[in-house]
Amino acid sequence: MLKDLKKSDGTDCLVVLNNPLLPTAYLAPISYYAIFLQNPNCSIELYEHFIKQSIRNRCDIYGANGKLRLSIPKERKGSSKTIIKNLKISYKQDWQKQHWYAIESAYNSSPFFEYYKDELKPFFEEKEKYLVNFNNKLQKAIISMLNQENSQKNTTKYFHKGDFLDLRNYTWELKKQKEYDQVFMEKQGFISNLSILDLLFNLGPESADYLHNLDLVI
């Protein structure tokens, strides 16, 4: 259960999750998926403006030299005022090849990379036009790999406020996280709240139980 959130002024507040509203995310962090699995009433925002430097188009994995950030490039024209569901992915650079190479290099020696790689690799070969569609399809695949039912709902318009817990602009960090074995842990130490890929490749079928039992003190 999510126990402790930060208000906009930086103070702590105790909350009970009520209809969490999440941003779309590219291979979202572990805390994101813990909220998603523990709360079947989550919704994904499709009508906000794109926000730079966020989980909407980037994720962090554990590379040989520590945390490695992967970002999906977007088409630049009008992107600052583009509704997120209309934001197009740019393929001027072969980011798919670069991302897959980075993922493979980081996790090739992990216990479950071989188990999941064939389900993931097509996402880095086929060219999806819109970022939200890419994220949604990838998220459904991740939920399937976790052997969970996909309860994802999408918003139909933008709400400034309402009967929901607004996590659209939340900073996805974990103060405490139960450690699990990571590929480069002996060299770099444990790195918390990485992309869901880190958990999947290292824990495999145990990942869902880990997420359901994770106490999120954020």
Query: What string of H, E and C letters represents the secondary structure of the chain?
Result: CEEEEECCCCCEEECCCCCEEEECCCCCEHHHHHHHHHCCCCEEECCCECCCCCCCCEEEEEECCEEEEEECCECCCCHHHCEHHHCEECCCCCHHHHHHHHHHHHHCCCCCHHHHHHHHHHHHCCCCCEHHHHHHHHHHHHHHHCCCCCCCEECCCCCCCCCCEECCCCCCCCCCCCCCCCCCHHHHCCCCCCEHHHHHHHHHHHHHHHHHCCCEEC
Side by side, which strands form the sheet with 12-14?
12-14, 2-6, 216-217
* pLDDT number for residue 81: 78
Quote the pTM value.
0.89
* pLDDT number for residue 211: 96
- Residue 177: inside a domain, yes or no? yes
- Residue 218: inside a domain, yes or no? no
* pLDDT number for residue 1: 41
114 phi, psi to nearest 5 deg: -60, -30
- Residue 216: inside a domain, yes or no? no
Cα–Cα dist 5/82, whole Å:
29
- Residue 91: inside a domain, yes or no? yes
Structurally, the chain folds into a number of domains equal to 1
* pLDDT number for residue 201: 98
- Residue 11: inside a domain, yes or no? no
* pLDDT number for residue 16: 44
pLDDT tens digits, 177-200: 999 999 999 999 999 999 999 999
- Residue 211: inside a domain, yes or no? no
* pLDDT number for residue 174: 83
Cα–Cα dist 118/180, whole Å:
24
State the residue range of the domain holding 146. 2-6+17-205
- Residue 213: inside a domain, yes or no? no
Q: What stretches in the chain show pLDDT beneath 50?
A: 1-16, 79, 218
* pLDDT number for residue 78: 53
- Residue 212: inside a domain, yes or no? no
